[in-house]
Amino acid sequence: MTETPLTAIHQGIVDVFRRAIPAVRAEGAPQELSREMATLIPTIIRNAAGARDLWDDLWKEFEEVPADESDYLRCGNELIGVLNSWHGVLQDLRNTCDALALRGVPVPNSSALRTALQENEQLQALLKKNWPWPDRQELTIDPKMVEESRAAIERGECDDLEDLIRGLPDESRATS
């Protein structure tokens, strides 16, 4: 895996919106600006949410093409860059909407920006936590816990998996 065209495409879209927001700000009266911003908001949010799809697409690519540690590191860093860029676009848009609201010109849909920012931040946190970073500590097995679990099974203190499954409600009866 030598290049990631998906991240390049995403970055290109981010750049378009980064240029669009100041251009919209520079135009006309606050009422016109409010209408323009209201038009931009759903499109920007939809495109920013596509960063999760980008992550999924990269995983599919990793499944098809063997990757080494440097590929994971490079792609992880590119994903962080894309998410940071989208966060900046969303933040710029929210700041502009807040400034308009202070001038007495609220922007329809602007409340959706807070949710989009939170989702972006959650996605960044998930990426930092779950991406296979080279310095990420390997999971370890606690031998004492394994020993205690085996002893509990031998003493009959654990339920059998098949019994647990049989104890689950039958969804076919519940829906009919």
Question: What stretches of the chain adopt beta strand conformation (E)?
Answer: none
* Contact status, residue 1 vs residue 65, Cβ threshold 8 Å: yes
pTM: 0.65
Residue tagged 């370890």 (tokens):
140
- Check residue 110 and report its DSSP letter: T
d(C-alpha 4, C-alpha 40), whole Å? 27
Rounded Cα gap, residues 49 and 110, in angstroms? 16
pLDDT of residue 176: 45
pLDDT digits (tens, 9 = 90+) for 53-97: 888 888 888 888 877 888 888 888 888 888 888 898 889 889 888
- 56 or 161, which is more confident: 56
Neighbours of 126 (CB within 10 A): 13
Tell me which amino acid residue 35 is.
Answer: R
User: What's the per-residue H, E or C state across 112-158?
Assistant: HHHHHHHHHHHHHHHHHHHCCCCCCCCCCCCHHHHHHHHHHHHCCCC
Q: What is the pLDDT of residue 113?
A: 92
Of the listed ranges 8-22, 30-44, 81-95, 118-132, the one predicted with least confidence:
8-22
Q: Quick: pLDDT tens for 90-138.
A: 898 898 888 888 888 888 889 999 999 999 999 999 988 888 777 766 6
Instruction: Please report the pLDDT score of residue 112 as a whole number.
Output: 93
Task: For residues 124 and 130, give the distance between their C-alpha atoms in angstroms, rounded to a whole number.
Answer: 10
pLDDT at 2: 44
